[in-house]
Amino acid sequence: MLHTFVAIVQDRPGVLTRVASLFRRLNVNIVSLTVGHSEKPGVSRMTIVSEASPTAGHRIMASLYKLENVLQVDDIGQHSSVSRELALIKVAATPKTRSHIFELVEVFRARIVDLAPESLMIEITGVESKIEGLIQVLTESEDRILEISRTGRMVMRRGQHTSRVLDAMRVATSESEAETIPAAEPDTVEEADLPQ
Amino acid sequence: MSEAKSAGTRLTGSEILWATLEGEGVREVFGYPGGAILPAYDALRKFPVRHILVRHEQGAVHMADGYARASGKVGVAIATSGPGATNMVTGLATAMMDSIPVLCITGQVSSKVLGSDAFQEIDITGITLPVTKHNYLVTRAEDIAPVIREALLIAQSGRPGPVLVDITKDAQQATATYDFAAAAPRPYRPHPMLRAETDSVLKAAELIRSAKRPIIFAGHGMIQSGAREQVRALAERLQIPVASTLLGLGGFPASHPLSLGMMGMHGEAWVNHAIQQSDLLIACGMRFDDRVTGSLATYAPNAKKIHIEIDPAEINKNVKVDVALIGDLAQVLEALLPHLAPRSGGESPWLREVNAMKGECAVRDIQNLPDNGHLYAAHVMNDLWHATNGKAIVVTDVGQHQMWEAQYYKHEDPRTLITSGGLGTMGFALPAAVGAKVACPDREVWVIAGDGGFQMTAAELSTIAQENLDLNIAIVNNGYLGMVRQWQEFFYDKNYESSPILSPDYVKLADAHGIPGATVRTRAEVKAAVSAARECKGPFLINFLVEKEDSVYPMIAAGSALHEMIRRPGNNPLIETAEDA
């Protein structure tokens, strides 16, 4: 089963390797990992898709929290969320053969971002199934795919669900009132598997 | 140097290192100098910290480990870069697996040449990622104090563990303003997944009240949390028998009528039978390690499980539990106890049944053994237990002798059995005992090691001689890697491949270090040798030449259920009867 974790981590050298090393130690395969700046300076956001048993999510999350640089972990799981990935696909195409690729790109709401005498490059954003759909169609229509570069999945919950976001909202409102900001509660973590 | 603490003086990184350690209460470190850590060593004389020079950096970490296990404080080891640091990895892994608070400081090449494969450069922070709770690379003198203070906090907080701090040479040499108070770490953030809400506590209390055949598991966490009185109260209030893991031995007093003894692969038979018959396991500070459970498919099939544990990652890792109370054991039990009324009436049927199991499954009756000239390791352990009134700190190595010690030396108090459980590191005993003795100089400390394990770190005899530590060293010498030989006997058709091992004459070896010793060949000689060791004001080594092909019983083979134990064959001189020693 695929687990998707969003980990908010300190932006420090070595944090990425700590997280990767943890997954290695737990013997859990990382399917994709993408990391970048978050809305807070000095804090990065990692999205990790891993392959593990359905009950392993609790242990992975608990282990991530044991890393000193990890500030918050969210197991997206079944929660309603938006998932996106970006891919660049280079396809062999001559002026004679490329018009049908233009049509496919249109259908998939992707874009052509490079045109060269013997190849073109497609940029596509969407859920994985959409990207994989385009790749499959290109393969089936015997267009030679020369290169694919994929970012891996990025996810964000719909609405303002995590406590972190709730805190951010609270800070915004009390700032406008110029009151002392109450200390944020420790991040509450939602559990599906934990026995009670 | 104490005036520097308040003045906010300019000090070198090296001075800041020792000043911070001094400020944090560290008075002993175990280490080995080298190029990349030389500036730190040069500053040491200005500080009231005792440095014990080891013979191998692995020894330094085991010493810090033994120090921490004996005292409950953080043990500190220091070494140079490159090979000095890599030699520490086994020690760090040992501490990591048993959750021991240890701080390792390593020198590192100058930050200007980092990443260039400089002389004795190694990426120790990369190498130790899986075997430390956290690690740091410090490249600036101003970072040393806050990092050291934070490292010590991390080592001791929550589930304890080892922390490594790698300090570049230029950071040691540069100067910075030192302010101990300003370097205070942010308060420890407890794990966000701790959970012991009222309804879980109530559910646990309900399970305990309605259980007919409960057992308490006393693990290492009980000792780490200092929850002895709370566990005792729980056991006595409801008359629940208490089984122990290897690392939990001594947490609950062995002589207590409710104490069952050690469970697991080499635990006593009645303990494992009781677990398989049980309807409720109350696991206190233990992690259901594979040595303890046997085959998971058939583990405690009729028992509900309550898991009281400080590390959320251990919940449901191996064994699915019914109630998890995730937090500090002492605190959780304090919250739980008020919901449990004392059990009235006499001995419960379950307790009667468990005590009867003790009789049926039999304990070895050491006293009834024929003295046919064979010296058994079990004799050595039992005699030692008697001679020391069970009050010594015993540091064991890894192997058969370790299991016999666990079976025959009844530990009454916490922090009196020091042994490598999770990693099972041979060579642990001799250095760990050095650490324990430095931590507890007024206590009697015994090393018990097999001939295999002893040879791995025998060089530390020189450390013992140089520091003149009053350590009693017992080598259980059977000419084999005993536990390997046992497995080869049971599972590999007695193919003793590479398990016979030659030893030097240990008494001569000790003598070469200026350490007195004695060889013991028969049962009758044991007492005198032990007395001589105890009376000697300084180290003493005893070479016990024991039965060569004895095996530890009972044993649970890999893949077998907890109750499917291999028992000692009937016609063996070690007779089993119902009388305890």
Q: What is the mean pLDDT of chain B?
A: 93
Question: A195 and B190 in contact by Cβ < 8 A?
Answer: no
Chain A CB contacts of B189 under 8 Å are 186
DSSP letters of A45-84?
EEEEEEE--TTHHHHHHHHHHTSTTEEEEEE-TTS-EEEE
* % chain A with pLDDT above 90: 74
* Residue scoring higher pLDDT (B371 or B164): B164
* Residue scoring higher pLDDT (B288 or B571): B288
CB neighbours (10 Å) of residue B572?
11
Would you say residue A196 has pLDDT above 60? no
Q: Rounded to whole angstroms, how far apart are CA atoms A49 and A153? A: 7
Nearest Cβ partner for B129 among A17, A59, A193: A17
- Can you say how many angstroms the Cα of residue A189 is from the centroid of all Cα atoms in its chain? 20
At residue B254, φ and ψ (nearest 5 deg) are -65, -30
Cβ-Cβ contacts under 8 Å for B195 (sequence gap 6 or more): A191, A194, B312, B324, B325, B326, B327
What mean pLDDT is predicted for residues B16-39?
Answer: 98
Question: A196 and B323 in contact by Cβ < 8 A?
Answer: yes
What mean pLDDT is predicted for residues B533-555?
Answer: 95
Question: B191 and A66 in contact by Cβ < 8 A?
Answer: yes
A175 at interface of B, judged by CB pairs closer than 8 A: no
Chain A CB contacts of B305 under 8 Å are none
What mean pLDDT is predicted for residues B374-389?
Answer: 92
- Tokens encoding B413: 């108090």
CA dihedral B129, B135, B140, B144 (to 10 degrees): -170
Cβ-Cβ contacts under 8 Å for A66 (sequence gap 6 or more): B133, B159, B191, B311, B313
Question: A196 and B311 in contact by Cβ < 8 A?
Answer: no
* % chain B with pLDDT above 90: 89
Nearest Cβ partner for B193 among A22, A189, A196: A189
Residue range B394-451, pLDDT digits in tens: 999 999 999 999 999 999 999 999 999 999 999 999 999 999 999 999 999 999 999 9
- Tokens encoding B44: 């040491």
A191 at interface of B, judged by CB pairs closer than 8 A: yes
What mean pLDDT is predicted for residues A100-108?
Answer: 94
Range with lowest mean pLDDT among B71-80, B274-283, B317-326, B548-557:
B548-557
Nearest Cβ partner for B195 among A66, A193, A194: A194
Would you say residue A194 has pLDDT above 80? no
In this predicted structure, what is the pLDDT of residue A159?
Answer: 86
Chain A CB contacts of B312 under 8 Å are 58, 62, 65
Output helix, strand, coil percentages for chain B, rounded to the nearest 5: 40, 20, 40
Nearest Cβ partner for B323 among A21, A55, A195: A195
B306 touches B280 (CB < 8 A): yes
Question: A59 and B317 in contact by Cβ < 8 A?
Answer: yes
A65 at interface of B, judged by CB pairs closer than 8 A: yes
DSSP letters of B314-325?
GTTSSS--SEEE
Q: How far is A59 from chain B (nearest CA, A)?
A: 5
Residues of B known to be catalytic: 57, 119-120, 169, 483
Question: A61 and B193 in contact by Cβ < 8 A?
Answer: yes
Question: Residue A65: what residue type?
Answer: Y
Q: Rounded to whole angstroms, how far apart are CA atoms B282 and B203? A: 13
Question: Residue B29: what residue type?
Answer: V
The radius of gyration computed from the CA coordinates of chain B, to the nearest angstrom, equals 25
- Tokens encoding B288: 């259901």
Residue range B105-136, pLDDT digits in tens: 999 999 999 999 999 999 999 999 999 999 99
Element (H, E) at B215: strand B214-218
In this predicted structure, what is the pLDDT of residue A164?
Answer: 77
Would you say residue B575 has pLDDT above 60? no
In this predicted structure, what is the pLDDT of residue B71?
Answer: 98
Question: B134 and A194 in contact by Cβ < 8 A?
Answer: no
CB neighbours (10 Å) of residue A134?
20
In this predicted structure, what is the pLDDT of residue B365?
Answer: 45
B366 touches B385 (CB < 8 A): no
Q: Rounded to whole angstroms, how far apart are CA atoms B320 and B418? A: 30
Q: How far is A161 from chain B (nearest CA, A)?
A: 17
User: Which pLDDT band holds residue A169 (cuts at 50, 70, 90)?
Assistant: confident
Would you say residue A98 has pLDDT above 50? yes
Three-state SS at B210? helix
Three-state SS at B131? helix
Residue A80 to residues A130, A152, B516, Cα–Cα distance (Å): 18, 19, 73
Interface probe with B: pick from A58, A72, A74, A188, most Cβ of B within 10 Å: A58
Q: CA triplet B422, B223, B332: central angle to 5 degrees? A: 110
User: Which pLDDT band holds residue A165 (cuts at 50, 70, 90)?
Assistant: confident
Q: How far is B506 from chain A (nearest CA, A)?
A: 40
Q: How many contacts does A have with B, using Cβ atoms within 8 A?
A: 66
CB neighbours (10 Å) of residue B186?
8
User: Which pLDDT band holds residue B579 (cuts at 50, 70, 90)?
Assistant: very low
Cis before B554 (ω within 30): yes
Q: Rounded to whole angstroms, how far apart are CA atoms A58 and A194? A: 7
Q: What beta strand segments (E) does B292-359 contain? A: 304-309, 323-326
User: Which pLDDT band holds residue A157 (cuts at 50, 70, 90)?
Assistant: very high
Question: B316 and A17 in contact by Cβ < 8 A?
Answer: no
In this predicted structure, what is the pLDDT of residue B371?
Answer: 62
Q: Rounded to whole angstroms, how far apart are CA atoms B338 and B335? A: 7
Please state the length of chain B: 581
Three-state SS at B519? strand
User: Which pLDDT band holds residue A142 (cuts at 50, 70, 90)?
Assistant: confident
Contacts 24+ apart (CB under 8 A), B525-532: B526/B375, B526/B379, B526/B380, B526/B383, B527/B383, B527/B387, B530/B383, B530/B384, B530/B387, B530/B472, B531/B387
User: Which pLDDT band holds residue A96 (cuts at 50, 70, 90)?
Assistant: confident
Q: Rounded to whole angstroms, how far apart are CA atoms B502 and B498? A: 11
Tokens 């191998």 identify what position?
B56
Interface probe with A: pick from B316, B322, B325, most Cβ of A within 10 Å: B316
Tokens 């640091």 identify what position?
B85
A106-133 burial: b if 16+ Cβ within 10 Å, else e: eebebebeeeeeebbbbebebebebbee
Question: B191 and A62 in contact by Cβ < 8 A?
Answer: yes
Residue range B485-531, pLDDT digits in tens: 999 999 999 999 999 999 999 999 999 999 999 999 998 899 999 99
- Tokens encoding B293: 């459970």
Tokens 């190849």 identify what position?
A119
Would you say residue B82 has pLDDT above 80? yes
B439 touches B27 (CB < 8 A): no
Q: How far is B165 from chain A (nearest CA, A)?
A: 14
Question: Residue B536: what residue type?
Answer: C
User: Which pLDDT band holds residue B360 (cuts at 50, 70, 90)?
Assistant: low
pTM assigned to the model: 0.93
Question: B192 and A189 in contact by Cβ < 8 A?
Answer: yes
B165 touches B104 (CB < 8 A): yes
What mean pLDDT is predicted for residues A58-86?
Answer: 94
Q: Rounded to whole angstroms, how far apart are CA atoms A7 and A38? A: 11
For β-strands A119-126 and A81-92, DSSP reports them as antiparallel
Three-state SS at A18? helix
What mean pLDDT is predicted for residues B469-496?
Answer: 97
At residue B2, φ and ψ (nearest 5 deg) are -65, -25
A90 at interface of B, judged by CB pairs closer than 8 A: no
In this predicted structure, what is the pLDDT of residue A79?
Answer: 83
User: Which pLDDT band holds residue A181 (cuts at 50, 70, 90)?
Assistant: very low
**Helix/strand number for chain B, H first, E second:** 24, 24
In this predicted structure, what is the pLDDT of residue B124?
Answer: 98
Residue of A nearest to B132 (CA): A67
Q: How far is A7 from chain B (nearest CA, A)?
A: 13
CA atoms within 13 A on the CB side of B344: 1
In this predicted structure, what is the pLDDT of residue B335?
Answer: 96
Residue range B221-256, pLDDT digits in tens: 999 999 999 999 999 999 999 999 999 999 999 999
Chain B CB contacts of A58 under 8 Å are 312, 315-316
